[in-house]
Amino acid sequence: MEQIEFNYPAKRKIAQRAHVGVVGSGDLEVLLEPAKGEVAHVFIRTSVDGFRDTWKAVLDRFFTKYDGVVRIQINDAGATPGSVHLRLEQAVEVSER
Amino acid sequence: MSEYTGVRGTVWFRAFTGHASPMIGDPNSVLTGDAPLGSDHARFLCVVPDPHARFPCARHGEVGQEEGYTLAARVREVIEHDKNTIKRPIIAIVDVKSQAYGRREETAAIFLAAAAAADAYGSARLAGHPVITLVVGHALSGAFLTHGYQANRILAFDDDGVMIHAMHKEAAARVTRRSVEELEKLAKEIVPMSYDIRDYAKLGLLYKLLHVENPEKPSPPEIRNVQDELIAAIADARTSPVDLRNRLESTAARELRKASILVRTKLEAQWLE
Amino acid sequence: MSNQAYSPNFIKRRSFIELNARERASVFFDAGTSRELLGPFDRVESPWLPMQGVTPQEDDGCVVIKGKIAGQAAVVVALEGAFQGGSIGEVSGQKMTAALDLACADNEKGILTSAVILLETGGVRLQEANLGLAAIAELMASILALRKHAPVICLTAGTVGCFGGMSLAAGLASYVVMTREARLGMNGPEVIEQENGVEEFDSSDRALIWAIHGGEQRYATGLADALVDDDTPQVAEVIRRFVSKGVPPEHRSSQVALYRNRIAKLDTSRQWDPKEFRALWTTNASNEENR
């Protein structure tokens, strides 16, 4: 199992936390919580090693549009980049309801 | 080890009761006997192989419908009989291959037979009977849930012939897509996965681990010693609550079942909010 | 063209099976009365899975929600079948047990509190083996204690079904509710085929699997108390009905003489056709009590 961390600059305060997804085969769980400061922290635990670059690509793309000051935790069991992006967007949507 | 299923069970049942027979009308796979134990008159129960069992998939020490319902009936008999008097101890001697794996078993709802036996043992415990389990051989999965795991106190011998687990090594390796060697290596690092009874003891579920030089041919002093341990377990059960909280209160549990204890503490706090 | 002119039933149907555990657990409660306990943000996860390279889930695949059902206090515990096959680990098992114990304690204080257990599970999580098995034994003890006061209702909807040691928990329930898609049994077809050969059970024979383990067969043989469509409002209504019904006069697992008698009268020299079995199971049994 691999643990990967990323940080991104962030500005906007987020009101509520969100949880989406299931750690099923090919799926992932996302926990998104408001944080302090001006950084968005992302912590990933994945059972599929060796894809740090892919994770970075997905998150880089996500954070070009998202500026929330958050702590995002991801528990992954082999989801595709498309699924990761989908779950992240779902989490954002839930947090902004 | 599987060809010896039932040898130890029979030996120890006979050691405590003087015979190795089912009650009249019962299948040969369930031995039931009432015998003195300390100042009590205890009921002893043991499941053994019956090569002529009615269910073809339950002829080598498996626990199936006949075993489940017979155990349930014999335990309930004690509950009914002792309704208004001293609650006699019920001693489950465990040396079983596994649950029974068969189409007849599934069609005729073996899960209910297993539940019926567990219901009887658990109800006896809740009614105040000291229910004590002595694992002398194997105690696997559904068979152990049926016969033994509802006890107030569990004792086991400390040798390699004793095993408590959820699934035999070969099957577990197949299901988790590992080799048996990989599984054994993993089991050494992860205590709940271990097949070694001495590791099982670290989980805090056992009341006591007992040493017997040769569990298949115990000497009279050894038998008396084990009886004394059963008597002590009975006394301990009688002065404790009838639920299973003791399994989380042992020193070992506080070490290796920290997550369980945390769950209970946090859930209670949130429940009451 | 008006949309209401043509609206087949399956469009209106809201599938219960397609919901995840958290969504399923949420549908039974009276509006505004429920809250989740030990949810994902409490981060009580399996200590054992990360040790072997398996990604844990923050609720360990078990959702606990407390609230009111049909005006009565109740706790719903739901297993997530998509996480590790709904298998029982140290944490998920203890969440179930502790929830039932707390319900039992409330009953003892005079607050009638039922439990509804949503079972999508293959049984013990082998990565936690003995702690999973012990957790099931402890859950069974908790069911026995709670069901004296208030009903313990087990619901299996599919697609995982209820197998392994957890089938004993269903066996102890006050009421069992199943969909047709659901299955309930101690051993699944693959393990029977592995242990005793393809003649004993051909695990590729899907019709046989449902004919033996499926909800319709279990209901027809009196082992389930209700058969529901995969329709969320219907499932919720049936559960509410059983919560309101209260504890049955005698639990199935306590009716030893009845079932022992039925087993004794079976001709075990041959396999039984499942449809034929329905008749075998209830006829030829004298002194049969009606449930």
The residue among C187, C183, C223 whose CA lies nearest residue C17 is C183
* Gap between the Cα atoms of C122 and C139, Å rounded: 15
Structurally, chain A folds into a number of domains equal to: 1
Q: Which helix (H) or strand (E) holds C1?
A: none
Q: C145 and B271 in contact (C-beta within 8 Å)? A: no
Please report residues of B whose CB lies closer than 8 A to that of C135: 260
The nearest alpha carbon in chain A to C51 belongs to A1
Query: What per-residue confidence (pLDDT) applies to C283?
Result: 66
Query: Which residue range is the domain that position C270 belongs to?
Result: 255-291
Domain boundaries, chain B: 2-242, 245-273
Strand B138-140 relative to strand B163-165: parallel, antiparallel, unpaired? parallel
C67 token code pair: 């609230």
Is the pTM higher than 0.90? yes
C27 token code pair: 């549908």
Residues 6+ apart with CB under 8 A from C60: C44, C45, C46, C83, C89, C91, C92, C95
C7 lies in some domain: no
Q: Is C220 on the interface with B (CB under 8 A)?
A: no
Query: What per-residue confidence (pLDDT) applies to A79?
Result: 96
Answer whether A touches B (≥3 Cβ pairs < 8 Å): no
CB contact under 8 Å between C55 and A47, yes or no, is: yes
CA-based R_g, chain B, Å: 18
Sheet with C35-37, side-by-side order of all strands: C35-37, C62-69, C72-79, C113-118, C152-156, C175-179, C226-228
Query: pLDDT by residue for chain C (291 residues), tens digit each?
Result: 444 556 666 666 799 999 999 999 999 999 999 999 999 999 999 999 999 999 999 999 999 999 999 999 999 999 999 999 999 999 999 999 999 999 999 999 999 999 999 999 999 999 999 999 999 999 999 999 999 999 999 999 999 999 999 999 999 999 999 999 999 999 999 999 988 999 999 999 999 999 999 999 999 999 999 999 999 999 999 999 999 999 999 999 999 999 999 999 999 999 999 999 999 897 654 444 443
* Residue count of chain C: 291
Residues 6+ apart with CB under 8 A from A78: A25, A26, A46, A47, A48
CA-based R_g, chain A, Å: 12
Low-confidence stretches of chain B (pLDDT < 70) are 1-3
Q: A85 and A58 in contact (C-beta within 8 Å)? A: yes
Q: Is C133 on the interface with B (CB under 8 A)?
A: yes
* Gap between the Cα atoms of B124 and C20, Å rounded: 38
* Gap between the Cα atoms of C121 and A32, Å rounded: 28
* Gap between the Cα atoms of C242 and B203, Å rounded: 38
The nearest alpha carbon in chain C to B177 belongs to C126
pLDDT range class, residue A25, cuts 50, 70, 90: confident
Query: C239 and C267: one domain?
Result: no
C175 lies in some domain: yes
Query: C115 and C215: one domain?
Result: yes
CATH number, domain with residue C88: 3.90.226.10
Structurally, chain C folds into a number of domains equal to: 2
Query: What per-residue confidence (pLDDT) applies to C12?
Result: 63
Residues of A with a Cβ under 8 Å from any C Cβ are: 1, 17, 19, 22-25, 27, 29, 31, 33, 45-47, 73, 75-77
Query: Which residue range is the domain that position A71 belongs to?
Result: 2-95
Three-class SS of residue C283? Answer: coil
Query: What per-residue confidence (pLDDT) applies to B273?
Result: 86
Q: Is B167 on the interface with C (CB under 8 A)?
A: yes
Q: Please tell me the distance in Å from C54's CA to the nearest CA on chain A.
A: 6
CATH number, domain with residue A19: 3.30.230
Three-class SS of residue B131? Answer: strand
Sheet with B40-47, side-by-side order of all strands: B30-37, B40-47, B90-94, B131-135, B153-157, B208-210
* Residue count of chain A: 97
B261 token code pair: 């204890």
Q: Which helix (H) or strand (E) holds C156?
A: strand C152-156
C59 lies in some domain: yes
β-bridge partners, B99: B63
CB contact under 8 Å between C40 and A29, yes or no, is: yes
Three-class SS of residue B44? Answer: strand
Q: Is B226 on the interface with C (CB under 8 A)?
A: no
Query: C52 and C17: one domain?
Result: yes
Please report residues of B whose CB lies closer than 8 A to that of C90: 192, 257, 259-260
C5 lies in some domain: no
B166 token code pair: 């959820």
* Gap between the Cα atoms of B175 and A88, Å rounded: 33
Alpha helices of chain B — where are they, by DSSP H? 7-17, 65-81, 103-107, 110-126, 141-146, 169-175, 180-189, 197-200, 220-238, 246-249, 251-256, 258-271
Q: Please tell me the distance in Å from A94's CA to the nearest CA on chain C.
A: 14
Task: Check pLDDT > 80 for residue A56.
Answer: yes
Query: C279 and C244: one domain?
Result: no
Query: What per-residue confidence (pLDDT) applies to C105?
Result: 98
Three-class SS of residue B264? Answer: helix
- How many CA atoms does the CB half-sphere of A17 hold within 13 Å? 14
* Gap between the Cα atoms of C114 and C169, Å rounded: 15
* Gap between the Cα atoms of B197 and B87, Å rounded: 31
A26 token code pair: 């090919």
Q: Which chains touch C (3 or more CB pairs under 8 A)?
A: A, B
**pLDDT tens-digit profile of B84-133?**
999 999 999 999 989 999 999 999 999 999 999 999 999 999 999 999 99
Neighbours of B6 (CB within 10 A): 24
Neighbours of C148 (CB within 10 A): 12
The residue among B154, B184, B157 whose CA lies nearest residue B169 is B184
User: The domain at B2-242 falls in which architecture?
Assistant: Alpha-Beta Complex (3.90)
C2 lies in some domain: no
Q: C214 and C183 in contact (C-beta within 8 Å)? A: yes
A3 token code pair: 């643990």
Show which of residues 234-253 on chain C sit within 8 Å of chain B, judged by CB atoms: 251-253
The nearest alpha carbon in chain B to C165 belongs to B142
Query: C204 and C219: one domain?
Result: yes
CB contact under 8 Å between C44 and B259, yes or no, is: yes
Neighbours of B30 (CB within 10 A): 24
